[in-house]
C-alpha cells in the first residue's frame, strides 16, 4: 500500500490509513551557553506593521465572535500581499542583526552535507533507491539490476526547477520494470502532476495527469495503465485554499489524454469520502481503501479485475474500525485492524465467505501497539511500538511467531516492504544519536546487514538518550525522551527545546536530526514527550486527546515543561517550545494558556483559528480529531483553546517566531497571518513577536534543502537571541573541531 496525506504532513508508509506523520520535527538549535541569563530585548521596541481591523462578527450558536483580521484570509488580495511584504521586512531586518545567525547557518550547512539514502525497493527485476549527496535540494531516484551494480540515475528532480522547489511526490513501477509513473509537487503544494518515464531510455511519454491529491499511481499487471485519484480542477483563485470535496478514482490508459480516463468509482452522495486504489500483487483485484477525512476508521471495497464489468464490492462498509489492507492470498484478504483490539491485531477474511462469523484472527492483540504489517516471504512482518520505540516480529501465515527481529538499538524503523514471494526486504533504522542507516534483511536466515550507512562527523558516544515518565494534570503517566551530552548537570540553567505534536494517531519516535545534533554539541537539551492524541499506545491513547478531550494534550505538554523545570533540567527563562502543524496548534494553545511558563515559542504552520479551520482545502477532514464548530458542544471546546481567540490584550507573551509559507494548501497561511496580527496587537512585553513567511514553499513536504537550512538558521538564531546565549563563547566551528 502507499501514501496518504494527513492534514499536517506528508510521509510514505506501508500502513496506508496511518500514513499521517507530523511535519519533520522542529529540532532546536541554539548558540553557545552562558553561565548567567541576560536580557536580549532590543533597546527600542519593534515597530510592527500596522494591521487594519474590520468590523466582522460571526454568530456561533448564540455566541458572537469578532474576526477583525478576516481580510487576511484572501491571500490573493493586494492588501494581504502588502502585509506579507511588510511583516517579512521587519522580521528579516531583526534576524539579520543577530550575531549568531551566519555561523549557525554555516554549521547547519556543514552538518547537512552528508550522503543519505532512502529505503530501496525491488520491482520488475530492478532495485530502486533515492540518494542525496548532501546539499542537493531534492533526492535523486536511481535504479540498478543487482545490489553490486553501480546505481544509474533515473530521475533527478533538481533539474525540474532552478531553485529546487519542484519535488518528487511519489513513484510506481510496472510489473515488467519498463515504465515508471512519477508525481511532482510544485512549491510544496499538495497538488500533484503525474507523468510516465521509459526506464530504459530515460525519456518521458506524452501522458500527463493533473489535479491529483491524496493518491499514488497503481499499475495493472499488464502495464497498460494505472489507477489514481483526484479532485476536480479548482478555480484559479481557490487553488491553494478552496475546499476539496468529491474525490474520484480513475483508470488512465497509456497513450490516451486525461479527458478520456475511466471513472472507476465515486460517490456523489458522499462529498467527504476519499478513495485510494491499489492493485494487489497478484494483479487480480483493485483493493480500495475508502477514507473519511483523518478518521482512523475506514471502509474497504474491492473490484475483481478479471473483467472490466465486474462491480465494486462493498466488503467492509460499517465504518466501525480501522481496516488496513495488507495483502491477499487467493480469496483470503489480510488486514490490520483495531476492531475489538485498540492496540491492533491481524485478521483474515475470505471474500467468498465474508460474513463476520467466518473472520479468522491470525495474530491477536498484544501488550504493544501494532502499527502495521507487510507480507514478504509468505510471512507477516509486524511492526510494533513499545513505549514509543520500534519492535519488529515475524509470523507465519497461521500466526505463529517465527522470530523477533534484532534491531541495532532503541529507535525507530521504517520499510520492511516487498512482495509475497521475495526472500529479502530492506529497512531504515534511526535514533536520536544515530543517522538513518539502511539495512538489508534476509528473511531466510533472519540476519541484517548494513546496506548504506551515512557518515556524519560526530561521536554518538558523546551523547545519551533516556526515557522518563511523568504525571500529567489528571494523573495520566506520560513518557518523554530526553537527549543531551553525557554528564549533563541538573542545575536548572540548561537551554532546552521541548517539541511536541499530540494528534491524529501520530507517534513521535526517536529520530536523527542534524539541527538537534548541533544543539546537543553545545550542551543543549532536547525533550520530546509522547502526548495523548498520538498513536503510541493505540486507539484509547489517541482518543483521549481528541474533540472534547483535546485539552488533555495541552495539559500533557505543560506538565512536561513543569516536570523538566522541577527536576532541574531547565528553567522557564531557558525553555523554548516548538511544534509544527497540529504541533503549531499545540504551541499556540500552550503559550496562550501559560505565557509565564516559556521564554520562546516557535509555532510552525500551525492550526490557529479553530473556528474556521474546516473552511479551507481539506480542513473539514480534521473534525474527526478536533470536532466541528458546527456542533454547539464541540464549538464550546474549540473556542476555549483556539489560539487566535484566546490572546488577551496587555499580556506579556513569550518571544515568538511564527513560521508559515505562502503555498501551504494544507494548513493555509491565513491561520498564521491572523494569529501573528492578533498577537502583535495583544502583546505588552518588549520581547519580539514576529512572523516569517516563506515564499514558493508549502506545508513542509518536498521543501528544498536550501530553504530548510535558511529557515532553520533563522529559527535557531531567534532562539539564541531570546534565550540569552553568550556570544563570547567558542564558535560552533571551534566546538566541532574540539570534538574531532
Q: Which residues pair with 290 in a beta bridge?
A: 275, 299
Whole-number Å distance between alpha carbons of 256 and 233: 19
Domain membership of residue 264 (yes or no) is yes
Give the residue, 724 or 300, on which the prediction is more confident.
Answer: 300
Whole-number Å distance between alpha carbons of 482 and 515: 15
Give the residue, 193 or 523, on which the prediction is more confident.
Answer: 193
The mean pLDDT of 384-400, rounded to a whole number, is 97
Using the predicted structure, report yes or no on whether residue 21 has a pLDDT greater than 90: no
Please tell me whether residues 414 and 477 are part of one structural domain: no
Please tell me whether residues 159 and 78 are part of one structural domain: no
* Residue 698 pLDDT class (50, 70, 90 cuts): low
Q: What pLDDT sits at residue 703?
A: 73
Q: What is the mean pLDDT of the chain?
A: 89
Please tell me whether residues 389 and 464 are part of one structural domain: no
Using the predicted structure, report yes or no on whether residue 25 has a pLDDT greater than 80: no
Q: What pLDDT sits at residue 481?
A: 98
Taking only the tens place, the pLDDT of each residue in 428-443 is 999 999 999 999 999 9
Please tell me whether residues 437 and 468 are part of one structural domain: no
Q: What pLDDT sits at residue 731?
A: 40
Q: Which cell goes with 625?
A: 480529531
DSSP state of 667: S
Domain membership of residue 31 (yes or no) is yes
- 455, 483, 506 — which closes off a domain? 455
Q: What pLDDT sits at residue 1?
A: 33
Radius of gyration of the chain measured on its C-alpha atoms:
25
Whole-number Å distance between alpha carbons of 327 and 397: 12
* Count of CA atoms in the C-beta half-sphere (13 A) of 244: 28
Please tell me whether residues 463 and 609 are part of one structural domain: yes
Domain membership of residue 303 (yes or no) is no
Domain membership of residue 431 (yes or no) is yes
Number of compact structural domains in the chain? 3
Please tell me whether residues 478 and 403 are part of one structural domain: no
Whole-number Å distance between alpha carbons of 132 and 24: 17
Please tell me whether residues 529 and 666 are part of one structural domain: yes
The mean pLDDT of 616-645, rounded to a whole number, is 95
- 279, 301, 330 — which closes off a domain? 279
Told to judge if 581 belongs to the known catalytic residues of this protein, a careful annotator would answer yes
DSSP state of 157: G
Whole-number Å distance between alpha carbons of 705 and 691: 21
Catalytically annotated residue among 189, 581, 642, 655: 581
Domain membership of residue 215 (yes or no) is yes
Taking only the tens place, the pLDDT of each residue in 458-503 is 899 999 999 999 999 999 999 999 999 999 999 999 999 999 999 9
Question: Which of 152-183 are b and which e, b meaning 16 or more Cβ less than 10 Å from the residue's Cβ?
Answer: eebbebbeebeebbbbbbbbbbbbebebbbbb
Using the predicted structure, report yes or no on whether residue 14 has a pLDDT greater than 50: no
Whole-number Å distance between alpha carbons of 362 and 382: 12
Domain membership of residue 4 (yes or no) is no
* Residue 663 pLDDT class (50, 70, 90 cuts): low
Report helix, strand or coil for 706. helix
Q: Residue 441 belongs to what H/E stretch?
A: strand 434-442
Please tell me whether residues 614 and 643 are part of one structural domain: yes
Using the predicted structure, report yes or no on whether residue 106 has a pLDDT greater than 60: yes
Using the predicted structure, report yes or no on whether residue 410 has a pLDDT greater than 90: yes
Q: Which residues pair with 425 in a beta bridge?
A: 441
Catalytically annotated residue among 171, 614, 671, 699: 699
Told to judge if 699 belongs to the known catalytic residues of this protein, a careful annotator would answer yes
Report helix, strand or coil for 460. helix
Domain membership of residue 290 (yes or no) is no
The mean pLDDT of 529-556, rounded to a whole number, is 98
Q: Which cell goes with 686?
A: 518588549
* Residue 234 pLDDT class (50, 70, 90 cuts): confident
Q: How far is CA 284 from the centre of its chain?
A: 33
CATH number at residue 106: 3.40.50.1820
Q: What pLDDT sits at residue 237?
A: 66
State the residue range of the domain holding 427: 367-455
Please tell me whether residues 100 and 209 are part of one structural domain: no
Q: Which cell goes with 122?
A: 525491488
CATH number at residue 134: 2.130.10.120
Please tell me whether residues 665 and 694 are part of one structural domain: yes
SS (H, E, C) 636-666: HHHHHHCHHHHCCCCECCCEEEEEEECCCCC
Using the predicted structure, report yes or no on whether residue 24 has a pLDDT greater than 90: no
Q: Which residues pair with 384 in a beta bridge?
A: 370, 391
Q: What pLDDT sits at residue 240?
A: 65
Please tell me whether residues 554 and 416 are part of one structural domain: no
Could you tell me if 508 and 582 are in contact, meaning their C-beta atoms sit under 8 angstroms apart? no
- 247, 279, 311 — which closes off a domain? 279
Q: What pLDDT sits at residue 19?
A: 31
Please tell me whether residues 463 and 450 are part of one structural domain: no
Domain membership of residue 470 (yes or no) is yes
Whole-number Å distance between alpha carbons of 182 and 196: 6
Using the predicted structure, report yes or no on whether residue 280 has a pLDDT greater than 70: yes
State the Cα torsion 538-543-549-553 to the nearest 10°: 40
Q: What is the pTM of this model?
A: 0.89
Question: Which of 636-652 are b and which e, b meaning 16 or more Cβ less than 10 Å from the residue's Cβ?
Answer: ebbbebbbbbbbeeeee
DSSP state of 358: G
Amino acid at each position: 500500500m502507499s501514501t496518504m496525506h494527513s492534514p499536517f504532513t506528508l510521509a510514505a508508509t506501508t500502513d496506508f490509513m496511518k500514513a499521517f506523520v507530523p511535519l519533520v520535527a522542529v529540532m532546536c538549535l541554539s548558540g553557545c551557553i552562558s553561565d548567567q541569563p541576560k536580557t536580549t530585548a532590543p533597546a527600542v521596541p519593534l515597530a510592527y506593521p500596522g494591521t487594519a481591523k474590520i468590523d466582522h462578527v460571526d454568530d456561533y450558536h448564540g455566541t458572537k465572535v469578532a474576526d477583525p483580521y478576516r481580510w487576511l484570509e484572501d491571500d490573493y488580495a493586494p492588501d494581504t500581499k502588502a502585509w506579507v511584504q511588510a511583516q517579512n521586512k521587519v522580521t528579516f531586518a531583526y534576524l539579520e542583526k543577530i550575531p549568531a545567525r551566519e555561523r549557525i547557518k554555516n554549521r547547519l550547512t556543514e552538518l547537512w552535507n552528508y550522503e543519505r539514502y532512502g529505503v530501496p525497493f525491488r520491482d520488475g527485476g530492478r532495485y530502486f533507491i533515492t540518494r542525496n549527496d548532501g546539499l542537493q535540494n531534492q533526492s535523486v531516484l536511481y535504479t540498478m539490476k543487482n545490489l553490486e551494480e553501480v546505481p544509474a540515475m533515473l530521475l533527478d528532480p533538481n533539474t525540474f526547477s532552478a531553485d529546487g522547489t519542484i519535488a518528487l511526490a511519489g513513484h510506481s513501477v510496472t510489473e515488467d520494470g519498463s515504465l515508471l509513473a512519477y508525481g511532482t509537487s510544485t512549491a510544496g503544494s499538495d497538488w500533484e502532476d503525474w507523468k510516465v518515464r521509459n526506464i530504459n531510455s530515460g525519456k518521458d511519454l506524452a501522458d500527463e495527469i493533473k489535479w491529483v491529491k491524496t493518491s499514488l499511481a497503481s499499475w495493472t499487471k499488464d502495464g497498460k495503465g494505472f489507477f489514481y485519484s483526484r479532485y476536480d480542477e479548482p478555480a484559479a483563485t481557490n487553488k491553494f485554499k478552496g475546499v476539496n470535496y468529491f474525490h474520484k478514482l480513475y483508470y488512465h490508459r497509456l497513450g490516451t489524454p486525461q479527458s478520456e480516463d475511466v471513472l472507476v468509482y465515486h460517490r456523489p452522495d458522499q462529498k467527504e469520502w476519499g478513495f485510494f486504489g491499489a492493485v494487489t500483487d497478484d494483479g487480480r483485484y483493485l483493493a480500495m481503501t475508502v477514507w473519511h477525512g483523518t478518521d482512523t476508521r475506514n471502509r474497504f471495497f474491492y473490484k475483481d479485475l478479471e473483467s472490466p464489468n465486474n462491480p465494486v464490492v462493498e466488503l467492509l462498509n460499517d465504518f466501525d474500525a480501522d481496516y488496513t489492507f495488507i495483502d491477499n492470498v487467493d480469496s483470503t484478504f489480510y488486514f490490520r485492524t483495531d476492531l475489538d483490539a485498540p492496540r491492533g491485531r491481524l485478521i483474515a477474511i475470505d471474500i467468498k465467505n465474508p460474513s463476520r462469523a467466518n473472520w479468522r484472527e491470525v495474530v491477536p492483540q498484544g501488550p504493544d501497539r501494532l502499527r502495521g504489517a507487510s507480507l514478504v516471504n509468505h510471512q507477516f512482518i509486524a511492526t510494533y511500538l513499545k513505549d514509543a520505540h520500534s519492535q519488529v516480529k515475524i509470523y507465519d501465515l497461521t500466526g505463529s511467531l517465527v522470530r523477533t527481529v534484532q534491531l541495532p538499538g532503541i529507535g525507530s524503523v521504517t520499510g520492511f516492504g516487498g512482495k509475497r514471494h521475495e526472500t529479502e526486504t530492506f529497512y531504515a533504522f534511526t535514533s536520536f544519536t544515530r543517522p538513518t542507516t539502511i539495512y538489508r534483511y534476509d528473511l531466510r536466515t533472519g540476519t541484517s546487514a548494513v546496506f548504506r550507512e551515512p557518515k556524519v562527523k560526530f561521536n554518538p558516544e558523546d551523547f545519551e538518550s533516556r526515557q522518563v515518565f511523568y504525571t500529567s494534570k489528571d494523573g495520566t503517566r506520560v513518557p518523554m525522551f530526553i537527549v543531551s551530552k553525557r554528564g549533563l548537570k541538573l542545575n536548572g540553567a540548561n537551554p532546552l527545546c521541548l517539541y511536541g505534536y499530540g494528534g491524529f494517531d501520530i507517534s513521535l519516535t526517536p529520530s536523527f536530526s542534524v539541527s538537534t545534533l548541533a544543539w546537543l554539541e553545545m550542551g543543549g537539551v532536547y525533550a520530546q514527550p509522547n502526548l495523548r492524541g498520538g498513536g503510541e499506545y493505540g486507539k484509547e491513547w489517541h482518543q483521549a486527546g481528541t474533540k472534547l478531550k483535546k485539552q488533555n494534550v495541552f495539559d500533557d505538554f505543560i506538565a512536561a515543561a513543569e516536570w523538566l523545570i522541577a527536576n532541574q533540567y531547565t528553567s522557564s527563562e531557558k525553555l523554548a517550545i516548538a511544534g509544527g502543524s497540529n504541533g503549531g496548534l499545540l504551541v499556540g494553545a500552550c503559550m496562550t494558556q501559560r505565557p509565564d511558563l516559556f521564554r520562546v515559542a516557535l509555532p510552525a504552520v500551525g492550526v490557529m483559528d479553530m473556528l474556521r479551520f474546516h473552511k479551507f482545502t481539506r480542513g473539514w477532514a480534521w473534525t474527526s480529531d478536533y470536532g466541528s464548530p458546527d456542533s454547539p458542544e464541540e464549538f464550546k471546546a474549540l473556542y476555549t483553546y483556539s489560539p487566535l481567540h484566546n490572546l488577551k490584550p496587555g499580556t506579556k507573551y513569550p518571544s515568538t517566531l511564527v513560521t508559515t509559507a505562502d503555498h501551504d494548501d494544507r494548513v493555509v497561511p491565513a491561520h498564521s497571518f491572523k494569529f501573528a496580527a492578533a498577537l502583535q496587537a495583544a502583546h505588552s512585553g518588549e520581547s519580539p513577536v514576529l512572523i516569517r513567511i516563506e515564499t514558493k514553499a508549502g506545508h513542509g513536504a518536498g521543501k528544498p534543502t536550501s530553504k530548510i537550512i535558511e529557515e532553520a538558521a533563522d529559527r535557531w538564531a531567534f532562539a539564541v537571541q531570546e534565550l540569552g546565549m553568550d556570544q563570547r563563547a567558542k564558535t560552533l566551528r571551534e566546538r566541532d573541531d574540539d570534538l574531532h
